Amino acid sequence: MTDSTAKTIDTLLSEHRTFTPPEEFVAQANVSDPSIYENADADWQGWWASWAEQLQWDQKWDTVLNWNPPYAEWFGGGKLNASVQCLDRHVAAGNGDRVAFYFEGEPGDARALTYSEVLRDVCRIANGLKSLGVEKGDRVAIYMPMVPELAMTLLACSRIGAIFSVVFAGFSPTSLKDRIQDQEAKLVICADACWRRGKILDLKKVVNEAVENCPSVENVVVWRRGGDCVSNAPSSSRDVEWGEVFVKQADECAPVSMDAEDPLFILYTSGTTGKPKGILHTTGGYMTGALATTKLVFDMKPEKDVYWCTADIGWITGHTYIVFGPMANGATQVIYEGAPDFPQQDRFWALIEKYKVSLFYTAPTAIRAFMKWGDEHPAKHDLSSLRLLGSVGEPINPEAWVWYLHHIGGGKCPIVDTWWQTETGSIMITPLPGITTTVPGSATTPFPGVEAKLINEDGSEVVGAGGGYLALTRPWPSMLRGLWRDNKRYEETYWSRFPGKYFAGDGAKRDENDFLWVLGRVDDVMNVSGHRLSTMEIESSLVAHEAVAEAAVVGVAHELKGQAPIGFVILRGGYEASPELEQELRAFVGKEIGGLARPDRITFTPELPKTRSGKIMRRLLRDVAEGKEIGDVTTLADPTVLKGLQAEFVKQG
């Protein structure tokens, strides 16, 4: 970005201290009456039940909630099927010809699939699963790229009551093996390959290595994406072809009626012990949370909107806000297979223009990358179809927020900055776009029916403005029901710090207007000379400087201070690394936040270590800063980044 653009960001920040939704947006919004919050709080169980009633139940529940902390049972006695909510009821309502997915492959191949076509293919896959002996309660591990067949596989598993577990198609053989073994998966479904930045990545090779020591796996179903670039020969007697076992099946498959509390899926997330945690979500409550939040947070109007969430279905965002939430609402979506900068850095904006996307949901890391690449890329495309923008994955710094509003949203699109987790299943803190006057960088307020509080170290509640631990203080339908076969770890991880309250590790502050600002993980909070400082606040301060495109901060051990902040900075185009600029940035942070927040040193780097989903791996940066042996790098998008970063750290040190 140019120097003049950086100054424009400063101007925009001063102009957009708040953003009030435009009158024309409010006039058509799904919710425009603020009393929704008061009404939901007055009878929060009734509020959630009113959303559950919008689903199609085979048998209605006996009780809304049985709560035996930390174990919840929502809609006990009720029976339904998740795939029916996403497919059958829309087709039965006469919307079978509505496009469910516009698929765009990275090489440019494209398909459009209607709800009727997706239902047909889901039934074929479900029948194929049954032909392989998969039954209700069996676990199916899935390792596929971003293609419609991935979404359809999830729906097919849910149709017959199989518990699916998606493993992001970028994890190593060891990571995949560990997850298969933990759940004792009966079947693995994979693609032979996927496209990434113009290259074919061999996914089947990863699967072959992973399943060598997985005796529970009876078959590996292979969907072909690589064409002639990948061998079509079976690797073992367990291999079966997608086309042979799925495509030739009958077009109809009766859905299994599931108890509301029957497991829907297991999704593994990293654990502090090194052993992944198998987050367990069940059917009725999860579908209720997905339905409600998708409709209200994104102001979704399925008969008009084209929605695009850029996440991968391998993460919880893709589960809830690509498959189950949007499809339960009957949405038309874009699914894109590849990288945002291939073949050019305007690929996302070209797709928005092509498909006339109106609702766009992406991550702050991606937004900062777009800023770095330059304003000229979105400026080349007609983005006028957009009417709402979303942010997910980590707190968004105000500079990225206003750039997003101005250069992507044309200054007119409300931004929903959302906070939630794999464990929560659906969005917990967010603006409602027809009601909330937003502030750049704040996730604002809890979703109606959700209760979130700030808690002090001693367990007391923080009243009024201030900071603390972010905890959810009453159950919600889409909450995790435990960890797969590990209730003790579930209780210790989420419920032991503040008994009766859910706490998963994030800190937050509340401003004078009662808005919440999520500060990130408390393990990303430093104790500097007895003062708690958020790495996220320091990162936001660095990015506020006109020379900085992106920043990451970690706390490292210090013999006098306890911990000291260390910064890693990517510069904007037109700026060069120098000792003088380092001192300028350190002083800038000291002025913006205070002397204690001033980084002890700053290392300039062209790249930061990120996962394939775009999250910065601060744990690895801490290893670099403390001179430790680098830990597991299997989840990194580009492991070679670390070698260069280590060399720069030593060179600049």
| Residues 191-243 pLDDT 10s | 999 999 999 999 999 999 999 999 999 999 999 998 776 666 677 789 999 99
Q: Helix-strand-coil percent breakdown of the chain, rounded to 5?
A: 35, 25, 40
Task: Tell me the pLDDT tens digit for each residue of 136-182.
Answer: 999 999 999 999 999 999 999 999 999 999 999 988 888 899 999 99
pLDDT number for residue 597 = 85
CB 232 within 8 A of CB 200: no
- Give the Cα separation of 72 and 600 in Å (integer): 46
pLDDT number for residue 252 = 98
Q: Which domains does the chain have, with CATH numbers?
A: 109-256 (3.40.50.980), 529-652 (3.30.300.30)
More confident residue, 269 or 302: 302
- Average pLDDT of span 586-601: 86
Q: Whose CA is closest to 268, among 353, 343, 358, 163?
A: 163
339 Cβ partners below 8 Å, 6+ apart?
A: 106, 196, 197, 347
- Give the Cα separation of 551 and 605 in Å (integer): 10
pLDDT number for residue 274 = 53
- Give the Cα separation of 302 and 450 in Å (integer): 25
**Can you tell me which residue has the tokens 């597991």?**
632
CB 481 within 8 A of CB 261: yes
Q: Is the pLDDT of residue 523 over 90?
A: no
DSSP of 394-430: SPPPHHHHHHIIIIITTTTS-EEE-B--TTT-S--B-
- Give the Cα separation of 226 and 202 in Å (integer): 8
Whether the ω angle into residue 70 lies within 30 degrees of 0, i.e. cis, is yes
Q: Which residues of 558-578 are buried (b: 16+ CB within 10 A; e: fewer)?
A: eeebebbbbbbbbbbeebebe
- Average pLDDT of span 473-482: 98
Q: Is the pLDDT of residue 525 over 80?
A: no
Q: Whose CA is closest to 394, among 551, 557, 530, 266?
A: 551
- Give the Cα separation of 451 and 459 in Å (integer): 16
Task: Tell me the pLDDT tens digit for each residue of 527-562.
Answer: 776 666 778 778 888 988 999 999 999 988 887 677
Backbone phi, then psi, for 104, in 5-degree steps? -125, 115
DSSP of 587-651: HHHHHHT-GGGS-SEEEE-S---BBTTS-B-HHHHHHHHTTPPP---TTBS-THHHHHHHHHHHH
Q: Is the pLDDT of residue 5 over 70?
A: no
CB 609 within 8 A of CB 636: yes
Backbone phi, then psi, for 610, in 5-degree steps? -130, 150
- Average pLDDT of span 271-284: 80
Q: Is the pLDDT of residue 6 over 70?
A: no
- Give the Cα separation of 246 and 125 in Å (integer): 5
Cβ count near 652 (within 10 Å): 14
The C-alpha torsion from 416 through 421 and 424 to 428, rounded to 10°, is -20
Vertex 530 angle, CA 526 and 536, to 5°: 25
- Give the Cα separation of 297 and 78 in Å (integer): 26
Residue 58: alpha-carbon gap to chain centroid: 31
- Give the Cα separation of 176 and 193 in Å (integer): 16
Per DSSP, what are the bridge partners of residue 391?
362, 417
Q: pLDDT class for 457, splitting at 50, 70, 90?
A: confident
597 Cβ partners below 8 Å, 6+ apart?
A: 528, 533, 537, 538, 541, 565, 589, 590
Stretch among 111-115, 483-487, 643-647 having the lowest mean pLDDT: 643-647
Which residue type is seen at 627?
G
* Residue count (the chain): 653
Q: Is the pLDDT of residue 273 over 70?
A: no
- Average pLDDT of span 325-341: 97
- Tell me the whole-structure pTM to 2 decimals: 0.85
44 Cβ partners below 8 Å, 6+ apart?
A: 449, 451, 474
Taking CA atoms, 72 is separated from 6, 272, 473, 480, in Å, by 49, 25, 13, 9
- 3-state SS, residue 30: coil
Q: pLDDT class for 272, splitting at 50, 70, 90?
A: very low
Residue 81: alpha-carbon gap to chain centroid: 24
Backbone phi, then psi, for 298, in 5-degree steps? -95, 5
Q: pLDDT class for 632, splitting at 50, 70, 90?
A: low
Q: Is 170 exposed, middle or buried (0-12, 13-18, 19+ CB in 10 A)?
A: buried
